[in-house]
Structure 1
Amino acid sequence: MHHALIMLAAGIGIPILAALNARLGANIGGPAAAALVLFTVALVATAAVTLITSPQALTRIVSQPPHLFAAGILTAFYVLTITWIAPVFGVGNAVFFVLLGQLISAAIIDHWGLFGARPAELSPIRLFGICVMAAGVALTQLARRGS
């Protein structure tokens, strides 16, 4: 249960991250500069946690397959796009499409056990559940536009 709560907190943080970084980008007149600030702060925080919890892991980085480093590119893509798009599209709208993309991608990754993930078949009931989740997220955005 504690894993679920931690991930719930991470999920709560994503729209906050989007709103804060979008505002920083607007305030300083440079969304890419705001993303750079975000990554600099994140690097310092992550370095501190790594040095405290598992400094030996740093020695194994160079032996990893290059494709695993694509996660950094995907993170940069997310932060840059949410920082540029949220101020003009709305944080809710931007996060809605991020959530929709996450649902689709997670289902594909789980179904085939991609990237070493524990496989979980995309059964009809799981597909229905994902569709219900997507519909729920869509309804929140439709309700928002109606008010």
Structure 2
Amino acid sequence: MTHHALIMLAAGFGIPVLAALNARLGANIGGPAAAALVLFTVALTCAGVATLLTGPGALTRLAGQPPHLFGAGVLVAFYVLSITWIAPVFGVGNAVFFVLLGQLVSAGLIDQFGLFGARQVALSPLRVGGLVLMAAGLALTQFAPRG
């Protein structure tokens, strides 16, 4: 496994942990939106330190970027707010299951059409089969009878 795969595996591992931690913080303080604000404050601080360490010059090129690229911030806010509100009542596993299902579908579409400047990777029948198997595996982990 390459270091890229290991980093992404760690990021994937972190998503349910993030969901559980922030959902608990939101429940403990009685404010899921406030918990999301705290999460983004900590994340902004971490990203700021990483930017300072890796070269803050990139920030000078923000003004020339297409506005739609800033939509990623809206999407991450939607994810964090929704998982923080929904996970305590729906369950972290169920919430992340549907997040992962959405990721499989959107990743397949982004690859197929090279959306947003991504590298185009054809959605062959074999890849579609793999995505269906992954979705089925996810469903089994959440909806199989528990003994």
For 1:24-39, what aligned pairs fall within 5 Å after superposition? 24-39=25-40
Q: Gaps spanning 5+ residues in structure 1: where? A: none
1:141 and 2:142 aligned: yes
Among all aligned residue pairs of Structure 1 and Structure 2, give the percentage whose two residues are the same amino acid.
74
Q: Which residue of 2 aligns with 1:10?
A: 11
- Tell me, in whole angstroms, the C-alpha distance in 1 between the residues paired with 2:31 and 2:47: 24
Q: Is residue 122 of structure 1 aligned with residue 91 of structure 2?
A: no
1:41 and 1:5 map into 2 onto residues whose CA distance is: 24
AA in 2 matched with 1:93: N
Structural mapping, 1:45-124, within 5 Å: 45-124=46-125
Aligned match of 1:131: 132
CA distance in 2 between counterparts of 1:52 and 1:121 reads 37
**When the two structures are aligned, how many residues end up with a matched partner?**
146
The alpha-carbon deviation at position 146 of structure 1 amounts to: 2.2
Note the residue ranges of structure 2 that are not aligned, 5 or more in a row: none
Q: Aligned partners of 1:91, 1:41: CA distance in 2, in Å?
A: 22
Work out the CA distance in 2 between the residues paired with 1:26 and 1:51: 34
Normalised TM-score (structure 2): 0.98
Mapped partners of 1:79, 1:67: distance in 2: 20
Report the alpha carbon displacement of residue 54 of structure 1 after superposing the two structures with TM.
1.8
Scaled by the length of structure 1, the TM-score of the pair is: 0.98
